[in-house]
Amino acid sequence: MDRVVSLLPSTTEIVHALGCGDRLVGRSHECDHPADVRALPVVTEPKAPMAGTSAQIDRQVRAILEQALSVYRVHADVLVELAPTVVLTQSQCEVCAVSADEVQQAVDDHLDGHAEVVALEPNTLEDVLSDVRRVARALHVPDRGERLVADMTARIRAVADRAAGLPTWRVVTLEWINPLMAAGNWMPQLLAAAGGEELFGVAGRHSPWLAWDDVVAADPDAIVVLPCGFDLERTRAEAAVLHDLPGWAELRAVREGRVALTDGNRYFNRPGPRLAESTEILAEILHPDAFAPVHRGDGWEPFPAG
């Protein structure tokens, strides 16, 4: 049987959704779902503490990247001890996880290349679904991969069908708070399915930095706050600074009560099975009269005007 090391929370969730959780022997420092994966040996760690405010984390990460260094390190000794046959990683974002090149180098140096490195690059929703299939093939369960893709697709399509004909709200999604960043990659597609139009992020492209003046000028109908790696409690604490931005109270989204905080870490930031639930959360936020608040209080909550 395969021995799998997953270096991404999303791939860990994919492995479990495929019914192959018993094959996991190691994880990244961020893998936390389902809860029992926390007992697995940890193979990576960040080179700087990812604590503090959004601004502090941003400065720490930028300082490392400016030195042309990786943000994370691989514990080669743990990797050798685990002797995986499959290592799941990514080549999409150097800030999100250990790079595919570093993982391949570690496998070559310490495992004599005797492990298959599966590097995912989920830039769009279609890529996420393709990556589910890739993981399933690597674990020799392609039929399960097709079933999981079909289930995710059906849930997202069900939201899109119900949202069709409802007002399309112009939305700013905030993937980081200080400095401001909009959500790109798969997020504009999820938003479109839920009846929204992303004003700054573009499907298939990396998330762009935002100037606050541009947000004010756009005057969105809704704002969804989903900082990468932050749970709902931490997002709530960080989002307080938004109240102090000039013109915040005058924005249409604020005046009409369409600003929401979310658990980005569990949902939107992870390109895996829970993107279906993420789409449902967006629909609840944008169209509360048409979608029951199933995830409210757990996946999202309204953000008071001030």
Say which CATH number the domain at 275 has.
3.40.50.1980
- Structure tokens of 255? 């005046």
Q: Is residue 12 part of a domain?
A: yes
The verdict on 187 and 285 lying in the same domain is yes
- Structure tokens of 173? 């999604």
Asked if 264 and 228 touch (Cβ cutoff 8 Å), the reply is: yes
Q: Is residue 157 part of a domain?
A: no
Q: What is the largest CA-CA distance in the chain?
A: 60
Q: Which domain holds residue 262?
A: 167-302
Q: Of 115, 147, 179, which closes a domain?
A: 147
The verdict on 32 and 95 lying in the same domain is yes
Task: Provide the pLDDT confidence category of residue 74 given band limits of 50, 70 and 90.
Answer: confident
DSSP state of 36: G
The verdict on 143 and 183 lying in the same domain is no
Q: Which of 43, 110, 112, 118 is nearest to 80 (CA)?
A: 110
DSSP state of 40: S
Q: Is residue 124 part of a domain?
A: yes
Q: Is residue 62 part of a domain?
A: yes
Q: Is residue 154 part of a domain?
A: no
The verdict on 198 and 272 lying in the same domain is yes
Q: Summarize pLDDT for 87-108 with one digit per residue, the tens.
A: 998 875 555 556 667 777 766 7
Q: How far apart are CA 37 and CA 125, in angstroms?
A: 25
pLDDT at position 94 is 55
The verdict on 132 and 178 lying in the same domain is no
Asked if 176 and 234 touch (Cβ cutoff 8 Å), the reply is: no
The verdict on 224 and 129 lying in the same domain is no
DSSP state of 44: E
Task: Provide the pLDDT confidence category of residue 57 given band limits of 50, 70 and 90.
Answer: low
3-state secondary structure of 182: strand
pLDDT at position 176 is 94
Q: At 115, which helix (H) or strand (E)? A: none
Amino acid in position 39:
A
pLDDT at position 68 is 36
pLDDT at position 64 is 45
Q: Summarize pLDDT for 20-36 with one digit per residue, the tens.
A: 999 999 999 999 999 99
Q: 284: exposed, middle or buried (C-beta count within 10 Å: 0-12, 13-18, 19+)?
A: buried
Q: Is residue 208 part of a domain?
A: yes
pLDDT tops 70 at residue 154: yes
pLDDT at position 115 is 85
Amino acid in position 212:
W
Task: Provide the pLDDT confidence category of residue 69 given band limits of 50, 70 and 90.
Answer: very low
The verdict on 263 and 203 lying in the same domain is yes
pLDDT tops 80 at residue 251: yes
Number of domains in the chain: 2
pLDDT at position 168 is 97
The verdict on 134 and 263 lying in the same domain is no
Instruction: Kindly report which listed range (62-71, 109-118, 233-242, 291-300) carries the lowest average pLDDT score.
Output: 62-71
Q: Give mean pLDDT, residues 110-117.
A: 75
Partners of 261 in the β-ladder: 225, 301
The verdict on 173 and 116 lying in the same domain is no
* Model pTM score: 0.90
Q: Give mean pLDDT, residues 246-271.
A: 96
Q: Is residue 58 part of a domain?
A: yes
For the chain, the average pLDDT equals 89
Q: Is residue 123 part of a domain?
A: yes
pLDDT at position 48 is 55
The verdict on 90 and 204 lying in the same domain is no
Q: At 4, which helix (H) or strand (E)? A: strand 4-6
Q: Give mean pLDDT, residues 276-282.
A: 98
The verdict on 74 and 142 lying in the same domain is yes
Q: Of 147, 176, 209, which closes a domain?
A: 147
pLDDT at position 66 is 41
The verdict on 141 and 262 lying in the same domain is no
